[in-house]
Amino acid sequence: MINIEPFIQKVLRTIDAHRSGEHGGYRRMLTDRPDMAELYGTADTAILLYTLGELPATGSAERAGLARTLQSFQQAEDGLFPGAGHHAIHSTAFAVSALELLDAKPLHPLKALHPLKERAGLTVFLDGLDWKHEPWGESTKGAGVYAALVLAEETDKEWEDWYFDWLWNEADPATGLWRQGAITGRGEEASVDGAPLFHHLAGSFHYLFNQNYRKRRLRYPEQLADTCLKLFQSGQIPLSAGGFSFVELDVLYLIVSVMGQTSHRAEEVRVMVQAIGGHLLEYIAVCAEGPADEVYEDLHTLCGSVCALAIVQSVLPEQVQADRTLNKVLDRRPFI
CB 89 within 8 A of CB 82: no
Angle (nearest 5°) at CA 241 between 238 and 246: 60
CA 137, 138, 143, 147 torsion-angle sign:
positive
Q: Which amino acid is at 7?
A: F
Q: Which amino acid is at 243?
A: G
Residue 183 is predicted with a pLDDT of: 92
* pLDDT > 90 in the chain, percent: 92
- CATH topology for 2-331 is Glycosyltransferase (1.50.10)
> How does DSSP classify residue 218?
P
pLDDT tens digits, residue range 285-323?
A: 999 998 888 999 999 999 999 999 999 999 999 999 999
pLDDT tens digits, residue range 89-123?
A: 999 999 999 999 999 999 999 999 999 999 999 99
Residue 190 is predicted with a pLDDT of: 45
pLDDT tens digits, residue range 58-97?
A: 999 999 999 999 999 999 999 999 988 889 999 999 999 9
Query: Considering only CA atoms, which of 57, 27, 1 is closest in space to residue 295?
Result: 27
128 vs 36: CA distance, rounded Å: 36
CB 79 within 8 A of CB 113: yes
221 vs 173: CA distance, rounded Å: 10
Angle between the 197-213 and 157-170 helix axes, to the nearest 10 degrees?
Answer: 150
pLDDT tens digits, residue range 141-185?
A: 999 999 999 999 999 999 999 999 999 999 999 999 999 999 986
Residue 186 is predicted with a pLDDT of: 53
Cβ-Cβ contacts under 8 Å for 307 (sequence gap 6 or more): 47, 51, 249, 328, 329, 330, 336
> How does DSSP classify residue 3?
E
CB 51 within 8 A of CB 12: no
> How does DSSP classify residue 74?
S
> How does DSSP classify residue 190?
-
224 vs 269: CA distance, rounded Å: 11
Instruction: Identify the residue with better confidence: 193 or 43.
Output: 43
Residue 185 is predicted with a pLDDT of: 61
97 vs 65: CA distance, rounded Å: 16
224 vs 171: CA distance, rounded Å: 10
Q: Which amino acid is at 238?
A: P
How many Cα atoms occupy the beta-carbon half-sphere of 329 within 13 Å? Answer: 32
Query: Considering only CA atoms, which of 199, 140, 139, 204 is closest in space to residue 172?
Result: 204
Please name the helix (run of DSSP H) or strand (run of DSSP E) that holds residue 241, with its range, or none.
none
In degrees and rounded to multiples of 5, residue 2 shows phi and psi of -115, 130
How many Cα atoms occupy the beta-carbon half-sphere of 39 within 13 Å? Answer: 22
What is the average pLDDT score of the chain? 95
Residue 58 is predicted with a pLDDT of: 97
Residue 192 is predicted with a pLDDT of: 54
